Amino acid sequence: MPARLGPRARTKPKRHPFHDFWERITEGIELNVLGREFLSEAKASYRLYSKDVDWEKVKNARGLGRIWATTLALFQAMLMKLSPARRVLLLLAIGLIVIQPDIRWGAHGQASFHFGGIGVLILFVLLAVELADRVTMKRDLEIAREIQQWLVPDSPPQIDGIDLAFSTRPQNTVAGDYYDAFLRPTTPQSGAAPRLLIAVADVAGKSVPAALLMATFQASLQALAITPMPLPEIVDRLDRYCRAHSLEGRRFTTAFLAEVDTQTHEMNYVNAGHNDPIFRRASGAIERLSTGGPPFGLPLLTDSATPYASGTVQLRPGDLLFVFTDGVVEAVNNGDEEYREARLLACLESAPKQSSDATLKCVMADVSTFVGPARQHDDITCLVLRVTT
């Protein structure tokens, strides 16, 4: 019988309080990972501020003058992101810290007060106010994200012979990508089999503006889908709505819409300026589904709209449909190298074939491995449809 450990032997070694503090600060993330995340965030911040810099003026400077001009231009871009009151306080704080004026009193000036500390205090107050704004905005964005998650399905519909899976990874808290899959209602009198409608869309732009337009697009599609109108007419109505709310074409939407007869597995589709989905036959042959027209919401080049063309394919057991947004193939790593379609096709070729979910997880994992900690410029959304019988 093994000897029992005494109370002293069973006592866990006491950890230093600094260790617990460091764990809370870093959330258990290793230093090298934190460093890569900081570099990625710094690059993203530089891209944000550099958009407001007049680089032509900077290029005219020479030597150290160019470094000074670049620093000054980036600082001015940062300064203009603040409210007027905060700009004044920031300039005042920097001036107090750099100049460090002081007041002396007494017969021989033996007592003095330095204003450099006031500058540091002003910087701390500005940081606290900016953090408060950020926390408030983050809370509002989290609420917006929850609402947006209500607009897309949690799980795919269960349909005999059809296996569906989908996933999205927002570039920001909220996304401009949209995916959906649902059965259109039928009447008992029609005697027709239910038709599965699938949709993947990408609104031009990022974050909140794109997310708001995505919500209106989803509402429009859902409202039109409950009517008996065919897919080409739904597409035409969507385009009219998007043109009326596209800010003269600046907020257009690419989309792939398809309707599958759940009994015959015939699929009608329209590609509205979207990345051509990959349709892989059971034999391994690859087809690209490009029939359709321009993105929704673009201004008309003529007095009347041109009807969108629709394509038809017959789905057979073993066939796979992979629909994706451009955030997949344009995902970048720390070297600014894009993932590209060649990698996507190779990944699909080697992906597990037992289920759509396994294929989807394989692709998303491959993209994640490729990009690493690099911050992405766009949302990543995929939808996989596999015919089982």
User: How many structural domains are present in the chain?
Assistant: 2
- Is 325 in contact with 379 (CB distance < 8 Å)? yes
User: Residue 319's beta-bridge partner residues?
Assistant: none
Residue 34, in any domain of the structure: no
Same domain? For 136 and 231 the reply is no
What is the full per-residue pLDDT of the chain (389 aa) written as tens digits?
A: 455 555 555 555 666 677 778 788 877 777 877 777 787 778 778 888 888 888 888 788 777 888 888 888 888 888 898 899 999 999 999 988 888 877 776 666 556 667 778 889 999 999 999 888 888 887 877 777 777 777 788 889 999 999 999 999 887 766 778 999 999 988 666 667 889 999 999 988 777 777 888 888 899 999 999 998 999 999 999 998 888 877 666 778 999 999 999 999 999 999 999 999 999 999 989 999 999 999 998 887 666 667 899 999 999 999 999 999 999 999 998 888 999 999 999 999 988 888 999 999 999 999 999 988 888 888 899 999 999 98
- Same domain? For 169 and 304 the reply is yes
Q: Report pLDDT digits (tens) over 148-176.
A: 777 788 889 999 999 999 999 887 766 77
78 occurs within a structural domain: no
198 and 124 in a common domain: no
Task: Examine residue 40 and state whether it is found in any structural domain, yes or no.
Answer: no
Q: Determine, yes or no, domain membership for 37.
A: no
Q: Do 227 and 358 reside in the same domain of the chain?
A: yes
CA–CA distance, 341 with 236 (Å, rounded to integer): 29
Q: Are 279 and 179 in the same domain?
A: yes
Same domain flag for 293 and 359: yes
Q: 119 and 165: one domain?
A: no
Q: Tell whether 326 and 209 lie within a shared domain.
A: yes
Whether 279 is in a domain gets the answer yes
Asked if residue 121 and residue 145 are part of one domain, the reply reads yes
Judgement on whether residues 133 and 217 belong to the same structural domain of the protein: no
Residue pLDDT, tens place only, 51-108: 888 888 878 877 788 888 888 888 888 889 889 999 999 999 998 888 887 777 666 6
Domain holding 147, by residue range, is 91-104+112-151
DSSP characters over 290-308: --EESPBTPPPSSSSPPPP
- The alpha helices in the chain, defined as continuous H runs, are 7-10, 17-26, 31-50, 55-59, 64-79, 84-99, 116-151, 207-225, 231-244, 326-329, 340-350, 356-371
Residue 60 is assigned to a structural domain of this protein: no
Whether 138 and 285 map to the same domain: the answer is: no
Evaluate whether residue 83 is within a structural domain.
no
Question: Where residue 362 sits, what CATH number does that domain have?
Answer: 3.60.40.10
Whether 61 is covered by a domain: the verdict is no
Same domain, 325 and 245: yes
Cα(96)–Cα(52) distance, integer angstroms:
27
